[in-house]
Amino acid sequence: MAQSRRLVVAALVSLLCLSTGTAQELRDLFKRVDPAVVEVLTTAAGRDTPSGIGSGFLVSPDGLVITAAHVVQTADRVTVRFLSGESSPATRLAADPRADVALLKVDQVPPGTPVLPLGDSDRVEVGDEVLVIGAPMGMSHTLSVGHVSARRATRALHGGLEPVDLLQTDAAINRGNSGGPMLDTKGEVVGVVSHIVSVSGGSEGLGFVVSSNLARRVLLEEPTLWTGMSGFLLEGELARVFNLPQAAGILVQGVAAGSPAARMGLRAGSIPARVGEEELLLGGDVILSVMGIPVGQPDSAPRIRSAVATARDDILAVEVLRAGTAVRLEGSVTGRTP
Protein backbone atom coordinates (compact mmCIF):
# COMPACT_ATOMS: atom_id res chain seq x y z
CA MET A 1 0.00 0.00 0.00
CA ALA A 2 2.77 2.41 0.95
CA GLN A 3 4.62 1.50 -2.23
CA SER A 4 1.49 2.33 -4.31
CA ARG A 5 1.14 5.73 -2.59
CA ARG A 6 4.79 6.54 -3.29
CA LEU A 7 4.29 5.68 -6.98
CA VAL A 8 1.20 7.92 -7.22
CA VAL A 9 3.00 10.83 -5.52
CA ALA A 10 6.02 10.40 -7.81
CA ALA A 11 3.77 10.40 -10.88
CA LEU A 12 2.00 13.59 -9.74
CA VAL A 13 5.32 15.32 -9.03
CA SER A 14 6.64 14.33 -12.48
CA LEU A 15 3.46 15.59 -14.16
CA LEU A 16 3.67 18.89 -12.26
CA CYS A 17 7.31 19.36 -13.21
CA LEU A 18 6.52 18.56 -16.86
CA SER A 19 3.64 21.05 -16.92
CA THR A 20 5.76 23.74 -15.28
CA GLY A 21 8.61 23.09 -17.71
CA THR A 22 6.28 23.20 -20.70
CA ALA A 23 4.73 26.46 -19.52
CA GLN A 24 8.17 28.03 -19.07
CA GLU A 25 9.24 26.85 -22.52
CA LEU A 26 6.08 28.38 -24.01
CA ARG A 27 6.74 31.71 -22.26
CA ASP A 28 10.33 31.73 -23.49
CA LEU A 29 9.27 30.87 -27.03
CA PHE A 30 6.65 33.63 -27.10
CA LYS A 31 9.13 36.23 -25.87
CA ARG A 32 11.59 35.16 -28.55
CA VAL A 33 9.26 35.21 -31.57
CA ASP A 34 6.69 37.90 -30.68
CA PRO A 35 8.83 40.92 -31.72
CA ALA A 36 8.81 39.55 -35.30
CA VAL A 37 5.01 39.67 -35.42
CA VAL A 38 3.46 42.90 -36.71
CA GLU A 39 0.12 44.61 -37.10
CA VAL A 40 -0.91 45.33 -40.68
CA LEU A 41 -3.02 48.48 -40.93
CA THR A 42 -4.92 49.26 -44.13
CA THR A 43 -6.54 52.46 -45.35
CA ALA A 44 -9.51 52.47 -47.71
CA ALA A 45 -10.32 55.02 -50.40
CA GLY A 46 -11.45 58.37 -49.06
CA ARG A 47 -10.07 57.81 -45.56
CA ASP A 48 -7.10 59.42 -43.83
CA THR A 49 -6.79 56.93 -40.98
CA PRO A 50 -6.51 53.12 -41.05
CA SER A 51 -9.85 51.36 -41.34
CA GLY A 52 -8.71 47.74 -41.35
CA ILE A 53 -6.33 45.59 -39.34
CA GLY A 54 -4.63 42.26 -39.80
CA SER A 55 -1.43 40.57 -38.74
CA GLY A 56 1.87 39.63 -40.35
CA PHE A 57 5.44 38.61 -39.57
CA LEU A 58 8.93 39.64 -40.60
CA VAL A 59 10.83 37.06 -42.68
CA SER A 60 13.99 38.99 -43.61
CA PRO A 61 16.15 41.66 -41.95
CA ASP A 62 15.68 43.99 -44.93
CA GLY A 63 11.96 44.33 -44.30
CA LEU A 64 10.04 41.54 -46.06
CA VAL A 65 6.75 40.81 -44.29
CA ILE A 66 4.25 38.04 -45.03
CA THR A 67 0.55 38.60 -44.40
CA ALA A 68 -2.83 37.49 -45.80
CA ALA A 69 -3.78 38.65 -49.31
CA HIS A 70 -7.36 39.49 -48.36
CA VAL A 71 -6.07 41.96 -45.74
CA VAL A 72 -4.05 44.08 -48.20
CA GLN A 73 -5.11 43.15 -51.74
CA THR A 74 -7.46 46.08 -52.47
CA ALA A 75 -6.44 48.56 -49.76
CA ASP A 76 -5.30 51.98 -50.96
CA ARG A 77 -2.47 52.19 -48.41
CA VAL A 78 -0.76 49.70 -46.11
CA THR A 79 1.19 50.41 -42.91
CA VAL A 80 3.07 47.96 -40.70
CA ARG A 81 3.37 48.54 -36.94
CA PHE A 82 6.00 46.75 -34.87
CA LEU A 83 5.94 45.66 -31.22
CA SER A 84 7.96 48.77 -30.31
CA GLY A 85 5.13 50.95 -31.60
CA GLU A 86 7.16 52.14 -34.60
CA SER A 87 5.26 52.21 -37.91
CA SER A 88 6.44 52.08 -41.50
CA PRO A 89 4.67 52.35 -44.88
CA ALA A 90 4.61 49.05 -46.79
CA THR A 91 4.76 48.28 -50.50
CA ARG A 92 3.03 45.19 -51.87
CA LEU A 93 5.61 43.14 -53.78
CA ALA A 94 3.58 39.99 -54.44
CA ALA A 95 0.17 38.56 -53.63
CA ASP A 96 -1.72 35.38 -54.43
CA PRO A 97 -5.44 35.75 -53.61
CA ARG A 98 -5.92 32.08 -54.48
CA ALA A 99 -3.60 31.08 -51.65
CA ASP A 100 -4.52 34.15 -49.56
CA VAL A 101 -0.93 35.22 -48.92
CA ALA A 102 0.91 38.46 -49.72
CA LEU A 103 4.45 39.80 -49.45
CA LEU A 104 5.12 43.34 -48.22
CA LYS A 105 8.29 45.43 -48.07
CA VAL A 106 8.59 47.97 -45.27
CA ASP A 107 10.85 51.01 -45.48
CA GLN A 108 12.32 50.70 -41.99
CA VAL A 109 12.76 47.86 -39.49
CA PRO A 110 13.46 48.70 -35.82
CA PRO A 111 17.02 47.67 -34.87
CA GLY A 112 17.26 44.24 -33.31
CA THR A 113 13.90 42.99 -34.62
CA PRO A 114 14.13 39.20 -35.17
CA VAL A 115 12.85 37.36 -38.21
CA LEU A 116 10.77 34.19 -38.30
CA PRO A 117 12.02 31.22 -40.36
CA LEU A 118 9.59 29.38 -42.61
CA GLY A 119 9.46 25.73 -41.58
CA ASP A 120 8.59 22.65 -43.63
CA SER A 121 4.80 22.31 -43.44
CA ASP A 122 4.96 18.87 -45.11
CA ARG A 123 6.32 17.53 -41.83
CA VAL A 124 3.37 18.80 -39.80
CA GLU A 125 1.08 16.08 -38.51
CA VAL A 126 -2.40 16.09 -37.01
CA GLY A 127 -2.02 16.43 -33.24
CA ASP A 128 1.09 18.61 -33.33
CA GLU A 129 1.02 21.53 -30.88
CA VAL A 130 1.01 24.95 -32.55
CA LEU A 131 1.01 28.62 -31.53
CA VAL A 132 -0.83 31.50 -33.21
CA ILE A 133 0.21 35.11 -32.58
CA GLY A 134 -1.63 38.12 -33.97
CA ALA A 135 -4.12 40.90 -33.38
CA PRO A 136 -7.52 39.26 -32.86
CA MET A 137 -10.26 41.92 -32.75
CA GLY A 138 -7.45 44.50 -32.87
CA MET A 139 -5.80 43.28 -29.64
CA SER A 140 -2.21 43.04 -30.83
CA HIS A 141 0.40 40.43 -29.88
CA THR A 142 -2.12 37.96 -28.52
CA LEU A 143 -1.05 34.33 -28.11
CA SER A 144 -3.30 31.30 -28.53
CA VAL A 145 -2.23 27.67 -28.36
CA GLY A 146 -3.80 24.60 -29.90
CA HIS A 147 -3.17 21.67 -32.17
CA VAL A 148 -3.27 20.81 -35.84
CA SER A 149 -6.72 19.33 -36.35
CA ALA A 150 -6.55 18.26 -40.01
CA ARG A 151 -5.05 18.88 -43.44
CA ARG A 152 -7.36 20.17 -46.14
CA ALA A 153 -7.15 20.88 -49.86
CA THR A 154 -9.85 23.22 -51.09
CA ARG A 155 -10.67 25.29 -54.14
CA ALA A 156 -13.23 27.36 -52.27
CA LEU A 157 -10.71 29.72 -50.65
CA HIS A 158 -11.87 33.24 -51.59
CA GLY A 159 -13.31 32.03 -54.87
CA GLY A 160 -9.98 30.60 -56.00
CA LEU A 161 -9.10 28.69 -59.16
CA GLU A 162 -6.79 25.99 -57.81
CA PRO A 163 -6.58 23.68 -54.79
CA VAL A 164 -4.95 25.27 -51.76
CA ASP A 165 -3.04 23.35 -49.07
CA LEU A 166 -4.57 24.29 -45.72
CA LEU A 167 -3.92 23.25 -42.14
CA GLN A 168 -6.89 23.24 -39.78
CA THR A 169 -6.32 24.18 -36.14
CA ASP A 170 -8.31 24.50 -32.92
CA ALA A 171 -6.07 27.36 -31.71
CA ALA A 172 -8.28 30.40 -31.15
CA ILE A 173 -8.44 32.60 -34.27
CA ASN A 174 -10.57 35.72 -34.68
CA ARG A 175 -10.80 38.65 -37.07
CA GLY A 176 -7.49 40.50 -36.94
CA ASN A 177 -5.47 37.27 -36.76
CA SER A 178 -5.47 37.01 -40.56
CA GLY A 179 -1.92 37.02 -41.93
CA GLY A 180 -0.31 36.15 -38.61
CA PRO A 181 2.01 33.17 -38.15
CA MET A 182 1.14 29.71 -36.91
CA LEU A 183 4.34 28.31 -35.39
CA ASP A 184 5.51 24.92 -34.25
CA THR A 185 7.19 24.41 -30.88
CA LYS A 186 10.60 25.16 -32.42
CA GLY A 187 9.47 28.66 -33.36
CA GLU A 188 9.29 27.99 -37.10
CA VAL A 189 6.33 29.22 -39.14
CA VAL A 190 4.33 26.30 -40.53
CA GLY A 191 1.33 28.32 -41.71
CA VAL A 192 -0.14 31.76 -42.42
CA VAL A 193 -3.51 32.41 -40.79
CA SER A 194 -6.24 32.77 -43.40
CA HIS A 195 -9.78 32.50 -42.06
CA ILE A 196 -12.23 30.83 -39.70
CA VAL A 197 -15.45 28.93 -40.22
CA SER A 198 -17.92 30.31 -37.69
CA VAL A 199 -21.65 30.53 -37.09
CA SER A 200 -21.33 33.09 -34.30
CA GLY A 201 -18.65 35.20 -35.99
CA GLY A 202 -16.10 34.33 -33.28
CA SER A 203 -13.61 31.54 -32.76
CA GLU A 204 -15.23 28.10 -32.69
CA GLY A 205 -12.15 25.93 -33.09
CA LEU A 206 -12.32 25.86 -36.90
CA GLY A 207 -9.38 27.97 -38.00
CA PHE A 208 -7.56 27.55 -41.31
CA VAL A 209 -4.01 28.53 -42.23
CA VAL A 210 -2.17 28.36 -45.55
CA SER A 211 0.79 26.00 -45.42
CA SER A 212 4.23 27.60 -45.16
CA ASN A 213 5.50 25.62 -48.15
CA LEU A 214 2.80 27.09 -50.40
CA ALA A 215 3.46 30.59 -49.06
CA ARG A 216 7.20 30.20 -49.68
CA ARG A 217 6.62 29.06 -53.27
CA VAL A 218 4.17 31.75 -54.41
CA LEU A 219 5.79 34.65 -52.53
CA LEU A 220 9.54 33.99 -52.40
CA GLU A 221 10.47 31.34 -54.98
CA GLU A 222 8.00 32.12 -57.79
CA PRO A 223 6.49 35.48 -56.76
CA THR A 224 2.93 36.08 -57.93
CA LEU A 225 2.26 39.59 -59.22
CA TRP A 226 0.25 41.88 -56.96
CA THR A 227 -2.59 43.09 -59.20
CA GLY A 228 -4.60 45.07 -56.65
CA MET A 229 -7.75 43.22 -57.62
CA SER A 230 -9.99 40.84 -55.73
CA GLY A 231 -12.42 38.63 -57.58
CA PHE A 232 -14.75 35.67 -57.32
CA LEU A 233 -14.77 32.68 -59.65
CA LEU A 234 -18.05 32.23 -61.52
CA GLU A 235 -18.51 28.71 -62.85
CA GLY A 236 -21.24 26.13 -63.29
CA GLU A 237 -24.66 27.46 -62.39
CA LEU A 238 -23.24 30.88 -61.47
CA ALA A 239 -21.67 31.22 -64.93
CA ARG A 240 -25.07 30.54 -66.46
CA VAL A 241 -26.79 32.98 -64.12
CA PHE A 242 -24.37 35.72 -65.23
CA ASN A 243 -24.85 34.69 -68.87
CA LEU A 244 -21.16 34.20 -69.52
CA PRO A 245 -20.12 33.25 -73.06
CA GLN A 246 -17.81 30.56 -71.66
CA ALA A 247 -17.62 28.06 -68.83
CA ALA A 248 -16.10 30.42 -66.22
CA GLY A 249 -15.05 33.97 -65.46
CA ILE A 250 -13.83 36.09 -62.54
CA LEU A 251 -16.25 38.67 -61.16
CA VAL A 252 -14.22 41.71 -60.08
CA GLN A 253 -15.00 42.61 -56.47
CA GLY A 254 -12.47 45.30 -55.59
CA VAL A 255 -9.66 47.35 -57.16
CA ALA A 256 -6.93 49.22 -55.26
CA ALA A 257 -6.15 52.78 -56.29
CA GLY A 258 -2.95 53.06 -58.34
CA SER A 259 -2.64 49.29 -58.75
CA PRO A 260 -1.99 47.44 -62.04
CA ALA A 261 -5.69 46.53 -62.10
CA ALA A 262 -6.65 50.19 -61.74
CA ARG A 263 -4.17 51.31 -64.39
CA MET A 264 -5.70 48.98 -66.96
CA GLY A 265 -9.18 50.25 -66.13
CA LEU A 266 -10.78 47.25 -64.44
CA ARG A 267 -14.09 48.12 -62.82
CA ALA A 268 -15.18 46.65 -59.50
CA GLY A 269 -18.70 45.77 -58.46
CA SER A 270 -20.65 48.17 -56.24
CA ILE A 271 -24.08 46.57 -55.79
CA PRO A 272 -24.27 44.23 -52.76
CA ALA A 273 -26.23 41.05 -53.45
CA ARG A 274 -26.56 37.54 -52.11
CA VAL A 275 -26.27 34.85 -54.77
CA GLY A 276 -26.94 31.45 -53.24
CA GLU A 277 -24.67 31.30 -50.19
CA GLU A 278 -22.28 33.96 -51.49
CA GLU A 279 -22.34 37.70 -50.72
CA LEU A 280 -21.04 39.45 -53.83
CA LEU A 281 -20.69 42.91 -55.31
CA LEU A 282 -22.41 43.05 -58.70
CA GLY A 283 -22.09 45.51 -61.56
CA GLY A 284 -18.35 45.15 -62.16
CA ASP A 285 -16.33 43.54 -64.95
CA VAL A 286 -16.14 39.79 -65.43
CA ILE A 287 -12.67 38.68 -66.54
CA LEU A 288 -12.92 36.16 -69.39
CA SER A 289 -9.24 35.76 -70.25
CA VAL A 290 -5.79 36.92 -69.13
CA MET A 291 -2.96 37.24 -71.67
CA GLY A 292 -5.19 35.38 -74.15
CA ILE A 293 -5.73 32.41 -71.82
CA PRO A 294 -9.45 31.75 -71.09
CA VAL A 295 -10.43 31.50 -67.43
CA GLY A 296 -11.75 28.15 -66.28
CA GLN A 297 -9.84 25.71 -68.44
CA PRO A 298 -8.31 22.74 -66.58
CA ASP A 299 -4.79 24.18 -66.70
CA SER A 300 -5.61 27.89 -67.02
CA ALA A 301 -4.55 28.99 -63.52
CA PRO A 302 -0.84 27.98 -63.72
CA ARG A 303 -0.66 29.12 -67.36
CA ILE A 304 -2.09 32.53 -66.47
CA ARG A 305 0.29 32.90 -63.55
CA SER A 306 3.28 32.03 -65.76
CA ALA A 307 2.14 34.36 -68.56
CA VAL A 308 1.71 37.27 -66.16
CA ALA A 309 5.13 36.68 -64.59
CA THR A 310 6.82 36.78 -68.00
CA ALA A 311 4.68 39.51 -69.60
CA ARG A 312 6.62 41.25 -72.37
CA ASP A 313 7.17 44.98 -71.98
CA ASP A 314 5.46 44.70 -68.58
CA ILE A 315 2.05 44.95 -70.29
CA LEU A 316 -0.84 42.93 -68.86
CA ALA A 317 -3.82 42.27 -71.15
CA VAL A 318 -7.25 40.98 -70.16
CA GLU A 319 -10.60 40.51 -71.86
CA VAL A 320 -13.63 41.37 -69.76
CA LEU A 321 -17.37 41.18 -70.10
CA ARG A 322 -18.69 44.69 -69.40
CA ALA A 323 -22.43 45.34 -69.58
CA GLY A 324 -22.83 42.39 -71.93
CA THR A 325 -20.00 43.40 -74.28
CA ALA A 326 -16.51 41.89 -74.53
CA VAL A 327 -13.85 44.57 -73.96
CA ARG A 328 -10.05 44.25 -74.17
CA LEU A 329 -8.02 46.11 -71.52
CA GLU A 330 -4.27 46.64 -71.26
CA GLY A 331 -2.08 48.19 -68.60
CA SER A 332 1.43 48.34 -67.22
CA VAL A 333 2.36 46.13 -64.29
CA THR A 334 5.22 48.44 -63.31
CA GLY A 335 5.04 51.51 -61.12
CA ARG A 336 3.55 49.65 -58.17
CA THR A 337 2.21 51.76 -55.36
CA PRO A 338 2.24 51.09 -51.57
Residues with Cβ within 8 Å of residue 194, at least 6 apart in sequence: 68, 70, 100, 157, 166, 178, 208, 209, 210
- 55, 70, 195, 211: the catalytic one is 70
Q: Is 178 a residue of the active site? A: yes
User: Active-site residue among 178, 194, 230, 289?
Assistant: 178
313 classed as catalytic: no
Compute the distance between CA of residue 100 and CA of residue 98 in angstroms, rounded to an integer: 6
CA distance 246 to 255: 24
Among the options 96, 100, 165, 170, which is catalytic? 100
Residue 70 annotated in active site: yes
Which residues are designated catalytic? Answer: 70, 100, 178
